[in-house]
A and B are shown apart, each in its own frame.
Chain A
Amino acid sequence: MSFDNALGAIAEDNDEARWAFGTGFHDPLAGIDASVPDGVDGADLAAYCLMLGDDALVMSHRLQEWCTHAPELEEEVALANIALDLLGQARLLLARAGAAMGTGQDETALTETVLTEDALAFFRDAPEFRNVRLVEEPNGDFAHAIVRLLLFSTWRLALLDRLTSSADPVLAAVAAKGVKEVAYHRDHAALWTIRLGDGTEESHRRTRRALDVLWPATGELFGVHEVERRAAAAGFGVDPADVRAEFDAVVGEVLAAAALPCPAPVPAEVAGRGGAHSAALGALLADMQGLARAHPGATW
């Protein structure tokens, strides 16, 4: 590149593709029929997409909170990147939920409309969120962030991998995009788990504590909500109980390499999927939704 032509180099209009959002957004749904397929119940599809979308949205929020607090600059970039991928997945899934739901009342409660990603993200209260509680737990230290990411991304990758053959072509396309992203997230978390578990005495102790704190929340990853059961039966969803063996094998292998003990399996339960959340979610939503709710009907 010629340095005398630096201004020209900057003005070159060749960098649109670099932007994942805003400009040059690659639409994973391009060319896909977005109508609800025959044999798929719209309300169940919407409820199921909300579950997967809320997991991604809330997990992304917790990772966004790391911004400017990461232990090194390389991790600032990596955690922000993972947060962006999950935010992207949340947007597609919430938009799919809104479309499959048919019409509903918008935030001004005056208009019947197809709910947008923003209506669903910013104008639902905590009991209407369908994420698992693992993602809403407040942040702890970096070991907590890494162990949560390992547990979450191992589980989510197993789900998304199966959803690539969903009977809903939109969900299948979203899953196909997500598989590539979450495979990287899982890899990143696994490498850090091994470094921290098999690093210093302090890092081992902190990682073990994070595992103790987070492990009880894994029971919920395999509990089967009524909507999930019907979604699996109708061929557009996955029965979460089916991914437990893969989760146990992958997590077990990583923990062994990290010189960490693998805790005993936690009995499956349903909580967040049915709207039962900890107080932490309310606080998270107050932060996330406050400005949007102060200006109902505004466009940003």
Chain B
Amino acid sequence: MDAADTDARTGADARLADFERTIERDQRIEPRDWMPDRYRSTMVRQIAQHAHSEIIGMQPEGAWITRAPSLRRKAILLAKVQDEAGHGLYLYSAAETLGADRPELTARLISGRQKYSSIFNYPTPSFADVGVIGWLVDGAAICNQVPLCRSSYGPYARAMIRICKEESFHQRQGYELLMTLMRGTEAQRRMVQESVDRWWWPSLMMFGPPDAESTHTAQSMAWKIKRHTNDELRQRFVDMTVPQAAALGVTLPDPDLRWNAERGHHDFGEVDWSELKRVISGDGPCNAERIEVRRAAHEDGAWVREAAAAHAAKRARREGEAA
């Protein structure tokens, strides 16, 4: 080994030590800091999947915008779905700080090489689904995402603060819609219960497989890009939701759900993990439809993006000639 090699190795070791020290001290890694390739690629995957989830997540609720039964609910829903597009934009921007490219990430989503949250593969046949998604799905997302406001990757952590604020609004609005429906007619109350029956178990699946089977957890915890295990977050969500369900007057569809005074937590039944596997692997009720809508929007919009680029180039040329 010659001297140059030794110097390079020492340099690499020193950079890794710096990186680990930054994480150790709970400080943030910033875009221009050195980072291990695997940290970079793991962060790109995590942020891109989150961005994809925001964009695909516009579809199930977006389907109710034109049909919302009051103008106030229509405005709230339209504003919420618009927020999700905005979240997708910040998150793609955060991924770009790691050298990822938005068109490439979109191509990976459309081709199925990158995933999005499996919850958005369930259909929304009822308007009560808008409220239940706000309450349960956004509630579960908040449990997952609040710890990410302390992610070791700075741009992601900062994006998550704004996103979590907006998500907590969405959750309150969803719950307020359900409260209104529960105070309404018998038909409206039935709509809410029927919707809760469909969304409860998929919401629990949003925290991922049980810890014993989770593949990414250990490294992600060491890098502080994940702060709590799947099972810890799932338990937190159940404990938070049970009293909310009682206040609402709906029944959560789990006969094993009960308070365990010894643990200080609610016990709950076993999630059907084969269903989660099926939906993640592409066999959920709406997987094909969700990707098809995204693919069609992207492909149908290609001529628009080309026109914008061509026009910008023409202007730049004309300005260059004028100068």
Contacts and interface: CB of A to CB of B under 8 A. Distances in A.
Contacts of B208: none
Interface stretch (B182-190, B229-237, B255-263): B182-190
B79 A10 contact: no
Interface in A1-40: 1, 3-4, 6-7, 9-10, 12, 15, 19-23
Interface in B185-200: 185, 187-188
Interface string A52-94: 0000000001001101111111111100110110011011001
A22 B70 contact: no
A264 B288 CA distance: 47
Nearest to B302: A71
B306 A69 contact: no
Interface string B83-105: 00110110010000000000000
B300 A141 contact: yes
Interface in A193-218: 194-196, 198-200, 202-203, 206
Given A10-B164, A80-B78, A298-B184, A196 B69 contact: no
Given A65-B66, A141-B300, A198-B314, A15 B165 contact: yes
B319 to A, nearest CB: 14
Interface stretch (B2-10, B54-62, B267-275): B54-62
A200 B306 contact: yes
A9 B85 contact: no
B169 interface: yes
Contacts of A299: 180, 183-184
Interface residues of B, number: 64
Secondary structure class of chain A's binding surface, majority of residues: helix
A275 to B, nearest CB: 21
A196 B68 CA distance: 33
A121 B71 CA distance: 8
B75 A20 contact: yes
A290 interface: yes
Nearest to B191: A295
Contacts of B67: 287-288, 290-291
Nearest to A74: B89
Contacts of A122: 69-70
Contacts of A23: 169
Interface in A242-300: 287-288, 290-292, 295, 297-300
A287 B69 CA distance: 10
B150 to A, nearest CB: 6
A118 interface: yes
B147 to A, nearest CB: 8
Contact of A206 (B66, B188, B303): B303
B157 to A, nearest CB: 6
B82 A22 contact: no
Contact of A68 (B59, B146, B164, B305): B59
A200 B307 contact: yes
Given A9-B149, A22-B173, A67-B65, A203 B303 contact: yes
Contact of A91 (B71, B150, B164, B302): B71
Nearest to B303: A202
Given A6-B149, A61-B66, A64-B78, A117 B71 contact: yes
A195 B70 contact: no
Contacts of B79: 19-21, 80, 84
Nearest to A292: B69
Contact of B71 (A1, A118, A141): A118
Nearest to A76: B85
B307 A195 contact: yes
A121 B59 CA distance: 24
Contacts of B165: 9-10, 12, 15
Contact of B81 (A21, A65, A80, A203): A80
A10 B150 CA distance: 12
B248 interface: no
A199 B69 contact: no
Which of B71, B169, B305 has the most chain A CB atoms closer than 10 A to its own CB? B71
Contact of A80 (B26, B85, B160, B308): B85
A67 B73 CA distance: 16
Contacts of A290: 67
A203 B88 contact: no
A68 B58 contact: yes
Nearest to B294: A68
Interface string B291-323: 001101100111111111011001000000000
Given A69-B296, A295-B187, A297-B185, 5 more contacts: A6-B150, A77-B82, A81-B82, A198-B311, A203-B307
